[in-house]
Amino acid sequence: MGDNARYGPGFIVSIAVMLLVVALPARGDDSACFECHGSLEKVRDAASAMELALDDARMARLVAAPMAEGTSHAGMACVDCHAGAEEVPHPAGLAAQNPCAACHDDAMAAINQSAHRDPAGGTTPRASCWSCHGSHDVRPAKDAASHLSPSHVAGQCLACHDNRDYLEGEHGHALQIGGLDFAASCVSCHGGHDIQPHGADNSRVARRTVSKTCGTCHGRVEQAYLKSVHGAALSDSNNPDVPTCVDCHAAHKTASARSVRFRLDSPQMCGHCHANKQMMAKYGISTAVLETYVADFHGTTTELFRATSPDQPLNQAVCYDCHGFHDVESTRTMGVEQVKDRLLVRCQVCHPKATKTFLRAWTSHYVPSPDRYPLIYYVRLFYVWVIPSTVGFFLAYIALDVWGRRRHRRVS
């Protein structure tokens, strides 16, 4: 009883304030910070006590809570990242410095080798550590709640990069909506600390390396592709014209390869290069392949579907039914008999009764001429000349007849 009389409320408060001031510099005790940063109310009081005019948004940002259990830095002192904050009013530049670099210098060094480097080689990269990892809620990237987990990471990157079409592609869809965490995120294709512009040789998405990047998940596709006429030309001689995975599938808005539309559009996709005279001249490859395809029975129907009912499944052969897609081979080096054997198997998928004779019913990509498919050439020639002449003859005949009858009537 007597003790309480000796130490009144005023005395207790002054002791508490003294303790607070003594405790401030001690690492690990953040309570002093929360006196002013613990709630919006406290921020407001501190600002008015310090005669600072802060707007509401700024005050809301100044609210801070102890770091949650399970985050990487839980238990770390505020001043470990905010050195100098013990001083009140705080010294200028508290927010400008990069506090992460001091403890994670290897990460900082790696970032400075990437597209996000600090142009001056310092500790303020173009994408700050916390723009990817967060600041007060850092977790290991593998943690599902981390800002960098497969389903969250796009949100971080898209805050600065305009690649929203990724969200409409198969991968974005699978991750964001399907919950398929092993589909490709921005990081699985581009990397994290080692992101490079795609023109750089060491980029994971450079022409020459992108198939390997895709191949980490689509391994067998990559193997087939590397052996194909396209893939081999890329890996052997860094050929700039052959397609990589993303020329056929797009980098971000990757469409389902099994969709009707993808199939219907595919002749134009192959034709984009194979009807390009300048490009194909380099390899001595015929550019008639697209027009001859479009002119024959399979292609005519395909083009008709594409124009009129693009969502209706197509049963006609497209380029890759005959040539394959990841395993496209050179028909020129294969030899006629081998081409026919391979081809027949492929025709039989849709024409089960087809034999080698059936193959002859088809003019391949050749425009019939007196040397190749002469019969068809002359039959066509016959039609080209005989039908118009026959029709013309009849018209002339009718005209003459009408004229003759009129004259006859007048005379009589």
For the segment 182-211, give every residue that binds ligand HEC (CB under 6 A): 182-190, 192-193, 195, 197-199, 205, 210-211
Q: Using the rule CB under 6 A, is 289 a contact of ligand HEC?
A: yes
Stretch that binds ligand HEC, among 10-18, 238-246, 374-382, 394-402 (CB under 6 A): 238-246
* Shortest Å distance, C-beta 396 to ligand HEC: 36
Q: Using the rule CB under 6 A, is 339 a contact of ligand HEC?
A: yes
* Shortest Å distance, C-beta 13 to ligand HEC: 16
Stretch that binds ligand HEC, among 10-18, 242-250, 378-386, 393-401 (CB under 6 A): 242-250
Between residues 160 and 381, which has the closer beta carbon with respect to ligand HEC?
A: 160
Q: Using the rule CB under 6 A, is 19 a contact of ligand HEC?
A: no
Give the residue, chosen from 124, 202, 309, 315, that forms a contact with ligand HEC under the rule CB under 6 A: 315
Query: Between residue 73 and residue 132, which ones bind ligand HEC under the rule CB under 6 A?
Result: 73, 76, 78-82, 85-86, 88, 90, 94-95, 99-104, 107-108, 111, 115-116, 125-127, 129-132
Q: Using the rule CB under 6 A, is 254 a contact of ligand HEC?
A: yes
Stretch that binds ligand HEC, among 3-11, 153-161, 378-386, 402-410 (CB under 6 A): 153-161
Q: Which of 215, 252, 216, 255 is nearest to 231 (CA)?
A: 215
Q: Using the rule CB under 6 A, is 160 a contact of ligand HEC?
A: yes
Query: Between residue 40 and residue 69, which ones bind ligand HEC under the rule CB under 6 A?
Result: 46-47, 50, 52, 54, 61-62, 64, 66
Task: Determine the size of the site formed for ligand HEC (CB under 6 A).
Answer: 156
Between residues 132 and 264, which has the closer beta carbon with respect to ligand HEC?
A: 132
Give the residue, chosen from 137, 149, 176, 248, that forms a contact with ligand HEC under the rule CB under 6 A: 248
For residues 163 to 182, the per-residue mask of contacts with ligand HEC, x marking binding by CB under 6 A and - elsewhere, is: x--x---xx--x---x-x-x
Query: Between residue 20 and residue 39, which ones bind ligand HEC under the rule CB under 6 A?
Result: 30, 32-33, 35-37
Which tokens go with 127? 């994408």
Q: Using the rule CB under 6 A, is 223 a contact of ligand HEC?
A: no
